[in-house]
Structure 1
Amino acid sequence: MSERAKRLGGRWLAVPVILLALNLLFMPAATRWGQAVGLPLVGLITCWLIIAIQHGDFFRRVFSLAPAVYLGRISYGIYLWHYPILSIAASRQIPHAGMMTPFVTLVVAALCYRYVETPFLRFKDRGRPIAAHKAIRPMVGRAAAIEDSSGGH
């Protein structure tokens, strides 16, 4: 990336933040206009925001704070759970679901991170395959041997 682009990204950091907020407030994704223009615009603004964050000290410090780092860690769970939780709340017509679902999503994502993702991440850190791989490997070898003995038919 050129130095000029880096300077512009850092110097004009407030612009993508404001554009993103305006887009989310005034261009609902459920409308045709929101689908055709709003969603692609969110993608472009987000790219600009990422570049700006990389080259701006203020937002780099903000996104380095412990709550922001933790949100980054559980972000996959947030992505994974937000729609099912929102759908359940909408189908049951829960009052004030719009205000409640972000909180419920954060709690469920945090629990999943702690009790599902973290144990699997420990396996990765050990540098050894998970025990299931030891059981699968001989079965794959037997299947290949059966395939060879049948003449590939």
Structure 2
Amino acid sequence: MIKELQKRLKEQNIKFYYVPTDDDHQSEIVGEHDQFRKYLSGFTGSAGVLVVGQEEAWLWTDGRYFIQAEKELYPGIKLMKMGNADVPSVKDFLIDHLDDGDVLGFNGKVTTASFIIDLDEGRETDFELKDIDMTDVWTNRPERSHEPAYIYDVKYHGQSTAQKLEWIRGYME
């Protein structure tokens, strides 16, 4: 699993690969098709970020999942207990470990723009940010959901789709 990704990182000279727990819609509940972090790490919790290096890997999660992560993580993945004084944030870890000329890979479909912007603004070295989807290393990947989409009734959220679009267009102007 993770070894195949690490092999690819070496071949493509990518120092780290960033794997969030997100899909391309930033959904609250991420479907099995988009559980790449879970596939690579073994960790089934709903919150966590995996950073895979060519030889090592680290998983950041919060206190709700420390015990679960310790039980589920595949051997060789270091648990980074978010909130502990001696544990840097993912951003700080990457900024501290990426040197001039290094490459950080990430899948732009599932990585938030705000994370990349924050990372880019916080750095002092000239590392490269490379949008590259590496999920093809995932064997037997589940299919995307085929459940039909439906309109959520106005009584549950207070505005029609037309009203929301009008507000968004006004905000964009």
Structure possessing the higher radius of gyration over alpha carbons? 1
> Under a length normalisation based on structure 1, what TM-score does the superposition of the two structures give?
0.24
